[in-house]
Structure 1
Amino acid sequence: MIFKKKEKQKENKKPKVSSINPRKKLVLTLWVFLGLSFSFAIYKHFTAIDTHTVEERIYVEEQLIDTNSVENFVRNFAQVYYTWEADNEESLEERNSQLENYLTEDLHSLNSVMIPNDVPTSSSVQNVQIWSVTESEEDNQYNVIYSVSQRITEEEEDEQVIESFYEVTVYEDEEKNVVIIRNPTLTTSPTKSAYQPAPLENDNSLDSETREEIDEFLSTFFSLYPTASERELSYYVEDDVLPVINQEYVFSELINPVYIQEGEYVRVSVYVRYQDERTQADQLSQYELLLCQSDTWKIKE
């Protein structure tokens, strides 16, 4: 009986069921994701291309062009082109022959008949001025504006001086040989600009005593300046900002001095009147100076 009872108890016992906590699943998933992310980061670190931004700066260097040969060529051409003698066939032939050295064949042919053999006037060149030389849009070509002053004579008693402005185009080859490819063409003369610089005005920041000190300093300096040596200038001027001129000028006065305080410095704008001992005429110089003061006043720039 005892045996049977134990067997019955054994038969009635419920089986044990194991279960997984759902929170553990979430934690496990997060750890796997973190591991993959870390692995990917290491991979990217060793396989990434090392790049950096490079700032590129382009410097455009302005190139100076020597146009002396072009200017001299045009100046010599004008001396020939605007010179002739009245009713002198031989003189005109000589002129025509010389023009071959300056003009293209087509231009020379056109100009050979522009002045008739019986022309009643004579022309001599008084002055030729080159006003501008600019590069043309076409390669190796220059546009030149110049003026010519001519003395025109018709008979002995009728004489006048005229001035005219012209423009030509000059071609220059690789060997620096030049030729005029555009005939002298009338152009306008430069005129006076309407520009007027803004005048400086005293800012009244200096007291009267300081102004008097500066007046006295400048009067003393400009009295000595025309004949002062470099050593003498060093007592009044820093770093040779004013050159030695060594001329016979006599100081007369300061005209319209303007003083402006700029921190520890004083900006000065002034006209200085001198008398030229050689011509006995007055000369007016204009200066823009920067003064500083330690023990005494000095011109800094």
Structure 2
Amino acid sequence: MMLFKKKKDKQKKQPKEPKVLSLNPRKKLVFSLWMLLGMSFSFAVYKHFTAVDTHTIEEHIIVEEELVDTNSIENFVRNFAEVYYSWESNNEEALEERNSRLEHYLTDELHALNSVLIPHDVPTSSSVRNVQIWSVNQSDEHHYDVSFSVSQRITEDEDEQTVESSYEITVHVDEEENLVIIQNPTLTNTPTKSAYQPTPLENDNSVDSETREEIDEFLSTFFALYPTASESELSYYVEEGVLPSINQEYNFSELVDPVYVQEGEHVRVSVFVRYQDERTQTDQVSQYELLLNKSNTWKIIGN
């Protein structure tokens, strides 16, 4: 009896790979964003129920300039200067009177200082020809700085000369509008002529010769009538409020150096106008800068 033995193929079993739990890295980012969104929403809800109503208030501060009447200060300083800068030579009585009058303007300390500045035997005499107030500036509630100049005629024996000087003083004004000088006259400078030169209007050939002739004729006619023209007569030539009615007896002579420049639909004119004044028998030259417009006729619409 034959026995057959089955052979089983023994295959080598491969070890199983361990299972790896794979997480999508994008899930972490998404989770974080959702957490942030949730926290933001919660904070917004919290702020909604706990916030205090606020209103933005804009404050507008209006600074109003207060006009100060300085006439009393100017008159006070002018009267003081006429006393302070006047004296007579070798006249003790007159000098004593001067010192007595200065008491009405100066503090006690300043009066004592100034009472000895001019000796009794002073060889010169002084008279004030003119006092000119240049400026009055308020430095605080009760103090005013005043700049002024004085023209004096100084006489010594037979010699005379005119002296001009400028000074600055400080005036105290109390609650009852009483005044006193608290700073002695201190030398300062006098305003002089400025070097400023305005830029003149120049012809740029933007206005043709025919138009210039028309404007010349219009302005000559107008300025001949202007000195004595009434408001109703002016209305034919000038828009209301541009030029005032002057009602003076002047005789028109000529236009001097007119300059014409085109400005859009208008013409800018710069011109001197010569008049003769019958009262003084002299010429008077007025200077105008005008804006003209032509509809049916020429008219002055601005200056």
TM-score, normalised relative to structure 2: 0.81
The runs of 5 or more residues in structure 2 that have no matched partner are: 1-35
Aligned counterparts of 1:139 and 1:42: Cα–Cα separation in 2: 57
Equivalent residue, structure 1, for 2:33: none
Shift of 1:44: 5.8
- The residue correspondences of 1:1-301 to structure 2 (distance < 5 A) are 48-136=51-139, 139-155=141-157, 157-301=158-302
Q: Which amino acid aligns with 1:146?
A: F
Q: Which amino acid aligns with 2:63?
A: V
Q: Residue by residue, what CA displacement relative to the aligned partner does 1:183-242 show, whole Å, maximum 9, x if unpaired?
A: 111111111111111121223222221111111111111111111122211111111321
Which segments of structure 1 move beyond 3 Å, counting only runs of 4 or more? 33-56
The answer as to whether partners of 1:134 and 1:143 remain within 8 angstroms in 2 is: yes
Aligned counterparts of 1:205 and 1:255: Cα–Cα separation in 2: 20
Shift of 1:266: 1.7
Q: Residue by residue, what CA displacement relative to the aligned partner does 1:22-53 show, whole Å, maximum 9, x if unpaired?
A: xxxxxxxxxxx999998987776566544454
Moved more, 145-154 or 203-212: 203-212
How many pairs align? 277
Q: Residue by residue, what CA displacement relative to the aligned partner does 1:134-177 show, whole Å, maximum 9, x if unpaired?
A: 123x542111111111112223x322222111111111112111
The runs of 5 or more residues in structure 1 that have no matched partner are: 1-32
Aligned counterparts of 2:89 and 2:82: Cα–Cα separation in 1: 17
Shift of 1:77: 0.3
Q: Which amino acid aligns with 2:72?
A: S
The 3 A distance-change label for structure 1 pair 51 and 204 is farther
Shift of 1:104: 0.6
Provide the alpha-carbon RMSD of the alignment: 2.9
Shift of 1:101: 0.1
The answer as to whether partners of 1:130 and 1:145 remain within 8 angstroms in 2 is: yes
Q: Residue by residue, what CA displacement relative to the aligned partner does 1:6-33 show, whole Å, maximum 9, x if unpaired?
A: xxxxxxxxxxxxxxxxxxxxxxxxxxx9
Q: Residue by residue, what CA displacement relative to the aligned partner does 1:121-142 show, whole Å, maximum 9, x if unpaired?
A: 2211111100011123x54211
Aligned counterparts of 2:37 and 2:152: Cα–Cα separation in 1: 97
Shift of 1:92: 1.0
Shift of 1:102: 0.2
The answer as to whether partners of 1:234 and 1:240 remain within 8 angstroms in 2 is: no
The 3 A distance-change label for structure 1 pair 44 and 164 is closer
Aligned counterparts of 2:41 and 2:171: Cα–Cα separation in 1: 75
Aligned counterparts of 1:242 and 1:254: Cα–Cα separation in 2: 17
Equivalent residue, structure 2, for 1:4: none
Aligned counterparts of 1:121 and 1:141: Cα–Cα separation in 2: 34
Aligned counterparts of 1:48 and 1:294: Cα–Cα separation in 2: 66
Equivalent residue, structure 1, for 2:3: none
Q: Which amino acid aligns with 1:162?
A: V
Shift of 1:264: 2.2
Shift of 1:87: 1.6
